[in-house]
Amino acid sequence: MLRLVVMISGSGSNLQAIIDAIEKKHLKAKIVAVVSNRRKAYGLERAQKHGIDSVYFPLKPYKDEGKSREEYDADLAQAVELYRPDLIVLAGWMHILSPAFLDKFPKQVINLHPALPGEFDGTNAIERAFIAGQEGTIKYTGIMVHYAIPEVDAGDVVIQAHIPILPKETLDQFKNRMHRIEHRLIVQAIALFTEPYLT
């Protein structure tokens, strides 16, 4: 069984999509831990409701002590390593991970990003794509799951979807449509990693 650690910073709606897919037996995997850098992230409550270990691992104490991001990432990697993950899923994790973390898990960390490769890297990608669509500079955007590397949203793509921008859609409608596709795509991406672990 594929062992997953899911890392979040917010509400955890993509986490819920993964939990639902596992419970419905659409995805042969087990979430062994959910990690958040924010104490009030609703995703931690989602984990607890489903009996999944939750780990709160904040950056602030490191900053307060004058420690580097690399020190934080190295300790975070140690905390995650305890769960022996086969795959680490960044599902709304809002920190850029350095080699101090990523080198511990080569080709085992994937990230969900609501844009196509090379477009709208970083935060607020959905809003930026919507504005570009309204201005007529793009006709479609997308969502990708890619391997995490130190450069933001730049790793090799695992899976992607192209999504047309509809002319009469509001921003809220567009966001909702993007999120629905995100939920499906993250599950499809994880499924690609399950085959070696199906025994």
Q: Nearest CA to 147 among 117, 120, 122, 180?
A: 117
| Residue 199 burial (10 A CB sphere; 0-12, 13-18, 19+) | exposed
CB 1 within 8 A of CB 196: no
Among the listed residues 113, 146, 162, 179, the single catalytic one is 113
CB 19 within 8 A of CB 100: no
CB 81 within 8 A of CB 101: no
CB 12 within 8 A of CB 92: yes
Sequence-distant (≥ 6) Cβ neighbours of residue 191 within 8 angstroms: 27
Distance CA 3, CA 179 (A): 24
Distance CA 66, CA 72 (A): 11
* 179 included as an active-site residue: no
Catalytic residue set: 113
